């Protein structure tokens, strides 16, 4: 026999309902933030490559300013294409996270679709972070290609942000995998009832 009286059960149900409604509300907000972030990242990248002074771009990349005079539209376009490669994967991942939060907002907390969206987001962050390493290396070559001989640069580096991005993505990927297994077990158990 349960220790909960009828009023306690009703109170518990109301508490769960309130918590679920808070999750839905915050999920709608997060969904919107992910959409705005995806648009802002794309717009910011376009602005950066076509409105920033060449000396500032070279300085931000840690490259010598010797090539600032030869920095034309072709160099900007190539820089945009190289930079957009990891960013495009990340934006796709942000849209997958948005799908996940939209599912939460509609009350679908533990569905395979929701979990797959979460896993896709994590994998996109992982792949984007790996691509960022190669993009930064390719940018160093592309931005210094027009420099005089002896002043061209090949820069290779790994940042703590890259390592943290990989750890974050790996953690979320494994959590989504565990959630997928939990849904499969719950579905299997439901067939026995």
Which of the four pLDDT bands, split at 50, 70 and 90, describes residue 25? very high
Q: Which two tokens stand for residue 85?
A: 């490669």
The candidate with the shortest Cα–Cα distance to 55, out of 42, 70, 65, is: 65
Phi, psi for residue 131 in degrees, rounded to 5: -65, -30
Instruction: Tell me the C-alpha distance between 136 and 19, whole Å.
Output: 44
Cβ atoms of 83 and 75 closer than 8 Å: no
**Percent of the chain scoring above 90 in pLDDT:** 51
pLDDT at 148: 63
Check whether 44 has a pLDDT greater than 90: yes
The answer, as to whether pTM is greater than 0.85, is: no
Instruction: Tell me the C-alpha distance between 159 and 146, whole Å.
Output: 27
Which of the four pLDDT bands, split at 50, 70 and 90, describes residue 27? very high
Integer-rounded Cα radius of gyration of the chain: 24
Cβ atoms of 180 and 117 closer than 8 Å: no
**DSSP three-state, residue 2:** coil
Domain ranges of the chain: 6-192
CB atoms within 10 A of CB 110: 12
Instruction: Tell me the C-alpha distance between 172 and 120, whole Å.
Output: 10
């Amino acid at each position: 026999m349960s220790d909960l009286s009828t009023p306690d059960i009703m109170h518990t149900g109301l508490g769960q309902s309130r918590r679920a409604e808070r999750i839905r509300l915050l999920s709608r907000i997060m969904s919107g933030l992910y959409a705005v972030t995806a648009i802002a990242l794309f717009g910011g990248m376009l602005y950066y490559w076509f409105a920033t002074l060449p000396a500032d771009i070279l300085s931000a990349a840690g490259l010598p300013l010797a090539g600032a005079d030869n920095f034309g539209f072709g160099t900007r376009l190539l820089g945009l294409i190289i930079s957009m490669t990891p960013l495009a994967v990340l934006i796709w991942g942000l849209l997958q996270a948005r799908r996940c939060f939209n599912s939460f907002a509609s009350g679908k907390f533990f569905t395979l679709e929701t979990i797959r969206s979460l896993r896709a987001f994590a994998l996109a962050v992982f792949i984007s972070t790996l691509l960022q390493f190669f993009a930064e290396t390719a940018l160093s070559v592309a931005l210094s290609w027009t420099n005089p001989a002896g002043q061209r640069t090949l820069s290779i580096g790994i940042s703590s942000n890259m390592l943290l991005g990989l750890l974050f993505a790996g953690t979320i990927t494994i959590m989504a995998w565990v959630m997928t297994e939990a849904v499969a077990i719950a579905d299997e158990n439901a067939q026995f009832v």
